[in-house]
Amino acid sequence: MAEGPIDLIRWEGDGSSVVVRITAEGGGDGLNGEFDVETPFVRGSLRTSMSLEDLRAWQQALDLLDTGHDIAWRADTRAPGLFVELAEDDDRCRVTVKDDATSPTTVTVTVPMTDAWFDDAYHRLDRAFEVLRPNEG
């Protein structure tokens, strides 16, 4: 990954952020990454591995989220999962990072969710696919 880390997912605002970052290629189909959560109260980072299949699953979850559905990404895996609940009548959402396997920890952060966020999220996903699979069309 010559370009350096890629923020695959990023929510931020009101002093809080949730970021899922691809930090490097891990060999084969694997990727190294991390979940970063920051609020005025808590700050933490959790290393993880990801695969191209995780990126495809994020694309499906993002499509559901874009149509107004709550989502769970990587919920049934031994890796940390991401859960998003949309708030009714508000431009906010609750993002939960859950790690059952390594640290038995769950953190929930409320962050802004705007229409512009979706454009940025799809752009981030496209960039990740381009960098990780440059020879495929």
Could you list the residue range(s) of the whole structural domain that residue 52 is in? 6-132
Task: Report pLDDT digits (tens) over 8-54.
Answer: 999 999 899 999 999 877 666 678 899 999 999 999 999 998 888 99
Residue 1 lies in a domain: no
105 lies in some domain = yes
- Could you tell me if residue 74 is inside a domain? yes
| CATH number reported for the structural domain that contains residue 54 in this entry | 3.30.2450
Residue 34 inside a domain? The answer is yes
**Per residue in 100-125, pLDDT tens?**
878 888 999 999 998 899 999 999 99
**134 pLDDT higher than 90:** no
E-strand stretches of 28-104: 30-38, 43-51, 71-73, 81-86, 92-99
pLDDT value, residue 137: 44
Kind and range of the H or E run holding 35: strand 30-38
137 domain-assigned: no
Predicted pLDDT of residue 135: 46
Number of domains in the chain: 1
Residue 3: its pLDDT value, please?
65
pLDDT tens per residue across span 59-105: 999 999 999 999 999 988 888 999 999 987 778 999 999 998 788 88
DSSP 5: -
Q: What is the pTM of this model?
A: 0.88
Nearest to 8 by CA among 135, 133, 122: 122
